[in-house]
């Protein structure tokens, strides 16, 4: 699943291509996404101008000139790109939006169809939806007191806490593993046993890893591409994720994999002692 760095890369790619542009038509394929596209949304969307493009957690938000918000989640395999109308439509393209800039389209392609696109009438309804889902704060500039309290108040392993979107928004399996490695913390450690120093180290590691991944345009394992169609490069910088059996680049111990919080988890047994 695209995580925060991938979604942020899509947003940064789309922003200069979409802001100031109007939607002139909307097309939806016959196969439904996780949340079906409603026919009424087409009428409401056509003619609207994009005022801003932003990210919240793993969500992409297009702010429209009438106050509406087109909110998109990439799911497991979603691709949201601006492309030429002349480019052949790829299989699994489920939504297509023509722009008033000649021969430009915004296309949403999703092989597994776990993604979604929803048109909200207002910012208030978007925020209410995020609140109802329990979406937590962004990982950048996190309040240290909040972070320490969330860690100290749970008996879950620290890997599970990082994956909880209600604790911190946007972190997924890849960057949880990489952040724990950077913080030298074993993923099975109970969060409440960390103490303030280790909790602060992890908070800083999360932000550091995510920022470096954004600089690398995210990670392409299989399907992910940015908003301009380019692949990510941060997968070349992984130090533990997907590195099972390889030597640690910090101590040369062999990277191991276990299953924690229902997810494959990668770590160095020497650098990240339990």
- Residues with a catalytic annotation lie at 2-3, 58, 263
Query: For residues 140 and 251, what is the distance between their CA atoms, to the nearest angstrom?
Result: 29
| Strand-pair partners of 78 | 110
The CA-CA-CA angle for residues 236, 237, 242, to 5°, reads 75
| Strand-pair partners of 71 | 61, 118
Alpha-carbon distances, residue 182 vs 2, 220, 268 (angstroms): 21, 21, 10
Tokens describing residue 140: 């950048």
50-56 and 59-64 as β-strands: parallel, antiparallel, unpaired? antiparallel
Query: For residues 178 and 176, what is the distance between their CA atoms, to the nearest angstrom?
Result: 6
Tokens describing residue 95: 């939504």
Query: For residues 8 and 95, what is the distance between their CA atoms, to the nearest angstrom?
Result: 20
Q: In the structure, how many helices (H) and strands (E) does the chain have?
A: 7, 10
Contact indicator for 215, 226 with CB cutoff of 8 Å? no
Query: For residues 224 and 7, what is the distance between their CA atoms, to the nearest angstrom?
Result: 10
Tokens describing residue 212: 């470096």
């Amino acid at each position: 699943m695209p995580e925060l760095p991938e979604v942020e890369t899509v947003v940064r790619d789309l922003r200069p291509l979409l802001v100031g542009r109007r939607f002139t038509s909307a097309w939806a394929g016959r196969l439904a996404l996780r949340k079906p596209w409603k026919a009424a949304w087409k009428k409401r969307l056509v003619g609207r101008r994009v005022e801003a493009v932003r990210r919240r957690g793993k969500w992409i938000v297009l702010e429209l000139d009438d106050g509406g918000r087109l909110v998109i989640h990439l799911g497991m395999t979603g691709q949201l790109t601006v492309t030429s109308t002349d480019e052949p439509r790829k299989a699994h393209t489920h939504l297509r939006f023509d722009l008033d800039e000649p021969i430009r389209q915004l296309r949403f392609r999703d092989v597994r169809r776990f993604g979604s696109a929803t048109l909200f009438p207002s910012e208030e309804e978007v925020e209410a939806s995020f609140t109802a889902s329990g979406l937590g704060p962004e990982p950048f500039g996190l309040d240290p007191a909040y972070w320490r309290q969330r860690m100290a108040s749970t008996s879950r392993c620290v890997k599970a806490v990082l994956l909880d979107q209600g604790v911190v928004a946007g972190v997924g399996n890849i960057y949880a593993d990489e952040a724990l490695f950077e913080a030298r913390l074993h993923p099975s450690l109970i969060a409440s046993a960390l103490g303030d120093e280790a909790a602060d180290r992890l908070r800083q590691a999360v932000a550091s890893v995510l920022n470096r991944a954004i600089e690398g345009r995210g990670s392409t394992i299989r399907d992910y591409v940015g908003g301009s169609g380019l692949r990510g490069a941060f997968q070349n910088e992984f130090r533990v994720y997907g590195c099972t059996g390889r030597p640690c680049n910090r101590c040369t111990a062999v990277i191991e994999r276990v299953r924690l919080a229902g997810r494959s988890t990668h770590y160095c047994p020497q650098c990240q002692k339990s």
